[in-house]
């Protein structure tokens, strides 16, 4: 199968391969298609308990400033990139 992508998408895929995230552009596209297939028909009802838990925590005042949350996420991402 031959697929033509817009130049920016093709460039991004090639950058991902160059960075070692995928072995080839074909592998990257296969992952993208698999992800789309996995979410097809997902109505996200599984997420409702998590959303309700987060709302209840916020109502109790269990919140952090956005900058602190972003710093925490960045810290986790840094450890994953190692």
pLDDT of residue 47: 93
In this structure, the number of other CB atoms found within 10 A of the CB of residue 25 comes to 15
The DSSP symbol for 24 reads S
Over the stretch 16-75, which tens digit does the pLDDT of each residue have?
999 999 999 999 999 999 999 988 877 888 899 999 999 999 999 999 999 999 999 999
pLDDT of residue 42: 78
> In a 10 Å sphere around its CB, with 0-12 CB exposed, 13-18 middle and 19+ buried, how is residue 13 labelled?
buried
- Does residue 13 surpass a pLDDT of 80? yes
- Does residue 82 surpass a pLDDT of 80? no
From CA 30, how far away is CA 27, in angstroms rounded? 5
pLDDT of residue 43: 84
pLDDT of residue 71: 95
Is 22 in contact with 16 (CB distance < 8 Å)? yes
């Amino acid at each position: 199968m031959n697929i033509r992508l817009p130049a920016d998408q093709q460039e991004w895929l090639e950058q991902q391969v160059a960075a070692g995230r995928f072995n080839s552009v074909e592998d990257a596209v296969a992952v993208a298609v698999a992800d789309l297939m996995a979410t097809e028909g997902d109505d996200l009802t599984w997420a409702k308990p998590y959303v309700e838990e987060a709302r209840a925590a916020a109502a109790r005042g269990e919140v952090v400033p956005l900058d602190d949350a972003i710093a925490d996420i960045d810290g986790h991402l840094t450890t994953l990139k190692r």
